[in-house]
């Protein structure tokens, strides 16, 4: 008998939600960085195992939106939570309950959504800290299960499948059994490039970056991609390009390797940097960058 399960992974920024999605999939589909608010939209990971098709939805970390992009991100997270069979509520060991966590737990209660508490980053935490974190959160909400884990070290990930499967519902699968995501190829490519930029640049610049794929040509031997990197300030452009183009070259090399391994074909990557002042504050610009509500 076939079963399926829709699960959203939610929590504040930087707790390790995307790392978990990738660990569940055994493949990198959702980009990861040490900067908060890395994930900007809902990312689907599909795993078909035995009788069950698991559909995990990685979501943008919950935060108080400061601009139109932030509002879009929070709508994407809300939208992912609505209608799922189960929520994986992720905190990092040592986290306290703030307004963000309170708000989410209230939402689960109000909508009667079962939730599993995931306490991540146990590899950098003491047993006492892990225990205290569990006590703090379980005192606030009646979780279906508690899973301490290190998503980064792939430790505890199998238990997520075991616990989540209990909430699977009988029914046909929604996706072909070899499909791992419903993200369009271009969106995946743009994200892989953005990840390398996030890693290579510090603080102020990454939040104002967007990557748009302008050209995509594929032959049997070569995938040729032209992408435009948008930043918000003219002063950011030379930093992204680097001395004699060194930074952009480094980003391009790293992204190309990831793209080649993901798409299984040789990739030619052509990157351009453009300035679009304050695009995150404009609904039209946010939508033009590919963040369209009808796509959530
Ligand atoms: N030590 C440790 N670090 C982790 C673990 N899981 C994730 N990280 C790190 O935490 C940072 C954030 O990880 P992400 O997976 O991008 O977090 P996220 O919750 O998706 O973040 P947003 O998309 O910004 O909401 C990265 O530097 C990860 O490498 C873990 O189990 N242990
Ligand atoms: Mg993320």
User: pLDDT, tens digit, for every residue of 86-125?
Assistant: 999 999 999 999 999 999 999 999 999 999 999 999 999 9
Class of domain 185-295 (CATH, top level): alpha beta
Alpha carbon of 163 to ligand 1 centroid (Å) = 22
How many angstroms is it from 18 CA to the middle of ligand 2?
4
Q: Does domain 3-170 have CATH number 3.40.50.1360?
A: no
pLDDT digits (tens, 9 = 90+) for 44-100: 999 999 999 999 999 999 999 999 999 999 999 999 998 899 999 999 999 999 999
- Residue 202's pLDDT band, with cuts at 50, 70 and 90, is confident
Which residues are CB-neighbours of 51 under 8 A, at least 6 positions away?
Answer: 1, 2, 3
CA of 90 to the centre of ligand 2 (A): 11
Ligand 1 binding pocket (C-beta < 6 A) is 13-19, 32-34, 36-39, 60-61, 120-121, 123-124, 150-152
Give the residue whose CA is nearest to atom 5 of ligand 1. Answer: 152
Answer for the pair 219, 262: CB distance below 8 angstroms, yes or no.
no
Q: Which atom of ligand 1 is nearest to the CA of 62?
A: 25
Q: Which residues pair with 169 in a beta bridge?
A: 4
Domain with CATH 3.40.50.300 in the chain: 3-170
DSSP summary character for residue 60: P
- Show Cβ contacts of residue 170 under 8 Å, excluding neighbours closer than 6 positions: 1, 2, 3
pTM of the model: 0.96
With pLDDT > 70 as the criterion, what percentage of the chain qualifies? Answer: 99
93 or 288: which carries more pLDDT confidence?
93
Domain with CATH 3.30.300.20 in the chain: 185-295
Tell me how far the alpha carbon of residue 153 lies from the centroid of ligand 2, in angstroms: 17
Cα dihedral 228/231/233/236 (nearest 10): -90
Burial of 259 (0-12, 13-18, 19+ CB in 10 A): buried
């Amino acid at each position: 008998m076939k079963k399926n399960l829709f699960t959203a992974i939610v929590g504040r920024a930087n707790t390790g939600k995307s790392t978990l999605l990738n660990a569940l999939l055994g493949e990198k589909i959702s980009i990861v960085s040490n900067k908060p608010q890395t994930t900007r939209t809902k990312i689907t990971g599909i795993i078909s195992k035995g009788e069950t098709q698991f559909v995990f939805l990685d979501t943008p970390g919950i935060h108080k939106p400061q601009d139109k992009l932030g509002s879009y991100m929070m709508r994407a997270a809300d939208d992912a939570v609505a209608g799922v069979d189960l929520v994986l509520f992720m905190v990092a060991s040592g986290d306290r309950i703030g307004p963000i966590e309170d708000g989410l737990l209230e939402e689960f209660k109000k909508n009667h959504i079962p939730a599993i508490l995931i306490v991540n980053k146990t590899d950098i935490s003491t047993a006492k800290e892990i225990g205290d974190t569990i006590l703090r959160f379980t005192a606030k909400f009646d979780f279906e299960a508690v899973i301490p884990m290190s998503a980064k070290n792939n430790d505890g990930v199998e238990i997520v499948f075991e616990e989540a499967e209990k909430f699977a519902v009988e029914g046909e699968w929604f996706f072909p059994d070899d499909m791992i995501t419903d993200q369009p190829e271009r969106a995946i490519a743009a994200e892989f490039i953005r990840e390398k930029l996030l890693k290579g640049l510090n603080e102020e610049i990454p939040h104002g970056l967007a990557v748009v794929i302008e050209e995509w040509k594929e032959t049997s031997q070569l995938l040729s991609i032209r992408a435009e990197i948008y930043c918000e300030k003219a002063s950011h452009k030379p930093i992204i390009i680097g001395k004699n183009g060194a930074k952009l070259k480094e980003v391009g090399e790293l992204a190309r390797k990831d793209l080649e391994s993901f798409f299984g074909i040789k990739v030619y990557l052509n990157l351009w940097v453009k300035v679009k002042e304050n695009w995150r504050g404009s609904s039209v610009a946010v939508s033009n960058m590919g963040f369209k509500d009808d796509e959530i």
